[in-house]
């Protein structure tokens, strides 16, 4: 049984994330979405709301792909989280050059801790490549239309959260 771990903050889940999840589902039997509690980052959505938004999207993706998808909030080291959920593979999305430096370091450090867990990088479809949760929140805050970047239910949740 091939188990993958796709970690992130998912504050909130975007169409970039769902594209990566769909692609990862083709590679593993079970995909664990690791939702970083990340108190330091000061997320807009509390953990419970991020989890329920990811779960709602994953129910659709799981039915579409036949891959089992589970959501797992975590606060410990990523490599320890991979051990906890029995993942042999960590899945990360890669956007242009901005993500590279950080991801390069992460792989190096994680390998030093455990060389048996492999990291694979996936790229989203071109129209979803530029999407970042941070920018989606900024656009929504300034009354911009984010319907091209997030699912309709996430768009509604953003409006409600930002009092729009």
Stretch 1-30 residues interacting with ligand ADP (CB under 6 A): 8-10, 14, 16-17, 20
Of 137, 103, 135, whose CA–CA distance to 122 is shortest?
103
Nearer to ligand ADP, 1 or 34 (CB): 34
User: Among the options 2, 41, 127, 164, which is catalytic?
Assistant: 41
DSSP H or E run through 92: strand 89-93
Of 89, 95, 119, 94, whose CA–CA distance to 107 is shortest?
119
Binding string to ligand ADP for residues 84 to 103, with x set by CB under 6 A, is what? --------xx-x---x----
Q: Is 62 one of the catalytic residues?
A: no
Cα–Cα distance measured from residue 95 to residue 123, given in angstroms and rounded to the nearest whole number? 7
Nearer to ligand ADP, 1 or 65 (CB): 65
Stretch 101-140 residues interacting with ligand ADP (CB under 6 A): 124, 128-129, 131-134
Using CB under 6 A, count the residues that bind ligand ADP: 18
Counting beta carbons within 10 angstroms of the beta carbon of residue 149, is it exposed (0 to 12), middle (13 to 18) or buried (19 or more)? buried
Residues identified as active-site:
17, 41, 95, 133
């Amino acid at each position: 049984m091939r188990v993958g771990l796709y970690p992130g903050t998912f504050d909130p889940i975007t169409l970039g994330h769902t594209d990566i999840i769909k692609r990862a589902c083709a590679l593993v039997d079970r995909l664990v979405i690791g939702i970083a509690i990340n108190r330091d980052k000061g997320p807009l959505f509390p953990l419970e709301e991020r989890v329920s938004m990811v779960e709602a999207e994953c129910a659709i993706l799981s039915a579409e792909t036949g891959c089992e998808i589970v959501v797992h909030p975590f606060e410990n080291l990523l490599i320890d989280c991979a051990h906890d959920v029995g993942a042999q593979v960590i899945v990360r999305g890669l956007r242009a050059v901005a993500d590279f430096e950080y991801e390069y370091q992460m792989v190096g450090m994680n390998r030093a801790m455990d060389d048996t867990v492999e990291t694979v990088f996936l790229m989203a479809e071109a129209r979803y490549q530029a999407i970042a949760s941070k920018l989606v929140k900024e656009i929504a805050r300034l009354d911009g239309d984010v319907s091209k970047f997030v699912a309709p239910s996430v768009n509604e949740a953003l409006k409600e959260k930002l009092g729009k």
